[in-house]
Amino acid sequence: MLAVERIDASYGKVQALRGVSLRVDAGEMVALFGANGAGKTTTLRAISGVLPARGSITFEGTNLIGLTPEQTAAAGIAHIPEGRGIFAGLTVWQNLKMGGFVHRLPDDELRRRVDAVLTLFPRLGERMSQAAGTMSGGEQQMLAIARALIGKPKLLMLDEPSHGLAPIVVQELFELLAKLRQGGMAQLIVEQYAAVALSVVDRGYVLERGSVVFEGEASRLRADWRELAGAYLGT
């Protein structure tokens, strides 16, 4: 599905990615780990077209290098950035409507898709006229995911989805993501809560200074996590 081959990316004169390679197969959950500044967020931005990259990024046979974020979204990739990216001053309903903007959905189809995602997020259905910025952090994260699902993405990328959330809400969130995986949706997740992430993902990559230094099945990462964290995460 997604194949990233030796991509480089820079912020001005600072090289942020150095030959990063990874893959995400259909229906698979993959996690990216690493210390601050390791290149995790930059990797997602390069895939979604927010940041220019060199190398090879293909998604279902389509070359993503040079595409805009809108074109990448139209190809079937939804990117939920760190901080969720919701429109705090708009209502829940208005935020959900924005999820269909790239795909130019007619009103009746948009309504059907909103109704479908509300079955996954019934709390949002109770807050449709509420300003998104007045909801709890967990509810805002659910809104960000629900909005992304309006476009029926084949790959969902999430950057630190658990940031600022209580542990019980984090557990709830990852149970929901695991349910989406059962429906066939691939996911690429940047996550700080390694223990929770590794309980549900299939595989993971560890980044350091813009390069992949370790990759493997989740079971292998769990077994080696103490050593990996000490060597690459500074913990």
Q: Give the domain ranges of the chain.
A: 1-76+160-235, 89-152
Task: Name the nearest CA neighbour of 110 among 96, 123, 120, 128.
Answer: 96
Sheet hosting strand 211-217, strand order edge to edge: 77-80, 155-159, 186-190, 29-33, 203-208, 211-217
pLDDT in tens, 42-93: 999 999 999 999 999 999 999 999 999 999 999 999 999 998 889 999 999 9
pLDDT of residue 83: 86
Please check whether residue 42 is in contact with residue 210, taking contact to mean a CB–CB distance below 8 angstroms. Answer: yes
Q: What dotted CATH number matches 1-76+160-235?
A: 3.40.50.300
**Quick one: tokens of 153?**
């993405």
pLDDT of residue 207: 97
pLDDT reading at 235 higher than 80? no
How many C-alpha atoms does 132 have within 13 Å on its Cβ side? Answer: 22
Q: How far apart are CA 219 and CA 204, in angstroms?
A: 10
pLDDT reading at 102 higher than 70? yes
pTM equals 0.94
pLDDT in tens, 180-216: 988 889 999 999 889 999 999 999 999 999 999 999 9
Tell me whether residue 203 is exposed, middle or buried, using C-beta atoms within 10 angstroms of its C-beta: 0 to 12, 13 to 18, 19 or more: buried
| Residue range 129-150: mean pLDDT, rounded | 96
Q: How far apart are CA 135 and CA 87, in angstroms?
A: 12
| Residue range 21-26: mean pLDDT, rounded | 97
pLDDT of residue 157: 98
Measure the CA dihedral 72/128/171/189, to 10°. Answer: 10
pLDDT reading at 234 higher than 80? no
At residue 58's C-alpha, the angle toward residues 56 and 59, to 5°, is 160
pLDDT reading at 10 higher than 70? yes
What are the distances in angstroms from CA 55 to CA 9, 10, 50, 99, 232? 9, 12, 15, 30, 25
